[in-house]
Amino acid sequence: MSQDDLPLDANGPAYTTPQQRHGVPLDYVGEKLSHAIEELHRFARQHPQQRQALLAPMHYLLVAHLGLHNMLAKANDTSLALRLLESSEAGLQSWLALIEREGDVAGLAGLDEP
């Protein structure tokens, strides 16, 4: 398998565009999204009867978080929101760490540049 065979564009061409920006660092935005996901997860664990009502807010938080980390394709997993709402705190922390470690708020770390 060559580097050309690797799916480097997890967001797909419909969701990517070159941009220059000046503002709040995207790492900061990602950190705040992570905290929002953690708080929603905590609430779902304390109020399991509310999980179905929390699916849409969790889904949109996950889409934003995954999109920010250039991993939007992972949001196509329709069971992700419920799985994370039902997961343990350790499971959620592990998932968030994986996204932060494997994703890239700067745009695929320049892997797609010649």
pLDDT digits (tens, 9 = 90+) for 96-109: 999 998 888 776 54
Predicted TM-score (pTM) of this structure? 0.80
**Which is more confident, 46 or 108?**
46
Rounded alpha-carbon distances, angstroms, from residue 58 to 1, 42, 110: 36, 12, 30
* Residues in CB range of 103: below 8 A, 6 or more apart: 66, 68, 69, 70, 71
pLDDT at residue 90 greater than cutoff 70:
yes
Q: Cα(93)–Cα(84) distance, rounded to whole angstroms? A: 10
In this predicted model, what pLDDT tens digit does every residue of 52-63 receive, in sequence order?
A: 999 999 999 999
